């Protein structure tokens, strides 16, 4: 028997680790628990990141395009005008087609307010034509929208303009809001 550089005992003839003391077993358990927590936090981080791809270019319009002669107005990008009824019906019909149609699209969306996040990070819009629907569009907002959203009440008809950033058959749509009407 000899001790390895990690402090464990190994058999000199076979080179295999030999069951060590209770301290070795406790250290192994602590390592496994630490790895378990690490994987848990990694999965949690991935799941809550919202599926946004920060490396992709945004289709959100900008008001100016920089050129060699200076700044000139860019052509105005007209948003696709839709309702939450359109989005949710398309998602229920065919999630893949809905994703290909709406993901990364600049839209003007109208729906019924169904939820406001207490931390002010988002609100949800449900179908206009349905009194009870579990499907909704999650509208992520910036700090400059907080005063407007703070004055909302449930059931209010809301129109927002922005880019649909994610489409999924389980979580529905996620939208980055630029303006609220």
d(C-alpha 165, C-alpha 102), whole Å:
9
Q: Which pair of structure tokens corresponds to residue 75?
A: 């052509």
pLDDT mean by block of 10 residues, the chain; 181 residues: 58 54 58 49 48 44 45 75 95 95 96 94 92 86 95 95 94 95 89
Q: What pLDDT is recorded for position 119?
A: 93
Residue for token digits 């050129």?
67
Q: What pLDDT is recorded for position 24?
A: 61
Helix axes 84-93, 95-102, angle to 10 degrees: 140
Q: What pLDDT is recorded for position 23?
A: 60
Burial 28-61 (b: 16+ CB within 10 A, else e): eeeeeeeeeeeeeeeeeeeeeeeeeeeeeeeeee
DSSP letter assigned to residue 106: E
CB neighbour class for 75 (10 Å; exposed up to 12, middle 13-18, buried from 19): exposed
Q: What pLDDT is recorded for position 173?
A: 96
Q: What pLDDT is recorded for position 45?
A: 45
Phi-psi region of 56 (alpha: psi -120 to 50; beta: other; left: phi over 0): beta
d(C-alpha 110, C-alpha 88), whole Å:
12
The CA radius of gyration of the chain, in Å to the nearest whole number, is 26
d(C-alpha 112, C-alpha 126), whole Å:
5
Closest CA to 116 of 98, 80, 141: 141
């Amino acid at each position: 028997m000899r001790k390895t550089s990690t402090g464990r005992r190994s058999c000199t003839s076979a080179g295999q680790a030999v069951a060590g003391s209770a301290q070795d077993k406790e250290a192994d358990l602590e390592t496994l628990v630490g790895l378990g927590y690490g994987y848990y936090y990694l999965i949690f981080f991935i799941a809550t990141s919202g599926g946004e791809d920060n490396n992709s270019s945004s289709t959100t319009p900008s008001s100016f395009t920089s050129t060699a002669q200076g700044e000139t107005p860019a052509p105005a990008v007209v948003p696709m005008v839709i309702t939450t009824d359109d989005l949710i019906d398309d998602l229920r019909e065919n999630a893949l087609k809905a994703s290909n149609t709406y993901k990364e699209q600049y839209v003007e969306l109208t729906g019924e307010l169904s939820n406001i996040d207490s931390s002010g990070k988002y609100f949800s819009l449900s179908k206009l034509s349905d009194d009870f629907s579990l499907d909704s569009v999650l509208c992520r907002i910036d700090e400059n929208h907080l005063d407007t959203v703070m004055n909302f009440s449930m059931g209010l008809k809301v129109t927002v303009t922005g880019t649909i950033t994610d489409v999924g058959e389980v979580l529905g749509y996620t939208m980055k809001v630029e303006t609220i009407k």
